[in-house]
Amino acid sequence: MSVVPAEAVSGRLRTESGDRTGLRSGHAAVAPLAPSARLLPAMAAVYRAQLSRARVARIPLLFVATFQSVGIMVLMRGVVDSGDEARAVVAGSSVLVVAFVALNLLAQYFGQLRASGGLDHYATLPVPPAAVVLGAAGAYASFTAPGTVVTAVVGSALFQLPTANLWVLAAVIPLAGAALAGLGAALGLLAPRQELATLLGQLGMSAALLLGVLPAGHLPGPVAWTRDLLPSTYGVEALARAFDARPDWAAIGGDLAVCAAVGVVSLAIATRAYRRAAVR
């Protein structure tokens, strides 16, 4: 016969007694919650999940965005020959792909997620709010890379622009994508209704089209001033300068720095909006 230590018996009795006391007083024993996941692993998990989802559901839309940008360049080819205007058209059409996906579609996604109660699912997970916003924004922004590269290469061939510095897209896509994705996520989370989030996303993409693709010299004065308020125009300027024979790298770095700063601010606003929407 095995002998049970007295300490184990007394400990078990104390536990059972405590459980019975808790039940009599109306208080149920509460199990400890799992520790919250760290930011980077949680963000990576959300990123992979969103990227997999976008790969299945958004490929047709990415094709539409790329075809739309290439079509705009073909139309503008009959009006613009070369020089600064050609560089602006190609750069604006390339960044427009980023605006279509990262701004427009992400605004619609978060608006739908909020309207359908999908935020409640994320709220029950031990995932930091910033991981949800950053993971989704990163997935949508990186999903634009193929279309942006194809548009830039086709536009360079169409307008006979040099392609030696197209590697700048490696910085333009993530930084302009972060700025536009943060703006799209904030619009989708702050809009009180799903329809309004869709409308705001469409208006943002239209602004990127009009203010980014059209050469700045052809815009009226007041409209040209609003161009400085749109974060995508700084990505357009950085890419357009890269087509020069001797690019102004300091100016390119300044434009990309603006995109990075806007991305940080807009993603912070989107994270705060997510916290508020998830609590309600």
Per-residue model confidence as pLDDT tens digits over 67-98: 889 999 998 887 777 778 889 899 999 999 99
Percentage of residues in the chain having pLDDT higher than 90? 29
Place of tokens 């087509």: 243
Q: Is the per-residue pLDDT at 31 higher than 50?
A: no
Place of tokens 């059209």: 214
Q: Is the per-residue pLDDT at 19 higher than 50?
A: no
Question: What is the tens place of the pLDDT at every residue in 165-185?
Answer: 999 999 999 999 889 999 999
Residue type, 197: A
What's the 3-state SS for 134-149?
HHHHHHHHHHCHHHHH
Residue 86 near residue 240, CB atoms below 8 Å: no
pLDDT of residue 58: 63
pTM comes to 0.80
Q: How many CB atoms lie within 10 A of CB 162?
A: 13
pLDDT of residue 54: 63
Question: What is the tens place of the pLDDT at every residue in 94-142?
Answer: 999 999 888 888 899 888 888 887 777 777 777 788 888 888 888 888 8
| Poorest-pLDDT segment among 42-46, 221-225, 241-245 | 221-225
Question: What is the tens place of the pLDDT at every residue in 152-163?
Answer: 999 999 999 998
pLDDT of residue 29: 46
Question: Which one, of 143, 129, 114, 121, lies nearest residue 53 by Cα?
Answer: 143
pLDDT of residue 183: 92
Distance CA 184, CA 178 (A): 10
Exposure string over 70-82, b if 16+ CB within 10 A, otherwise e: bebbeebeeebee
Give the confidence band of 57 by pLDDT, cuts at 50, 70, 90.
low
pLDDT of residue 200: 92
What residue ranges do the domains of the chain occupy? 38-279
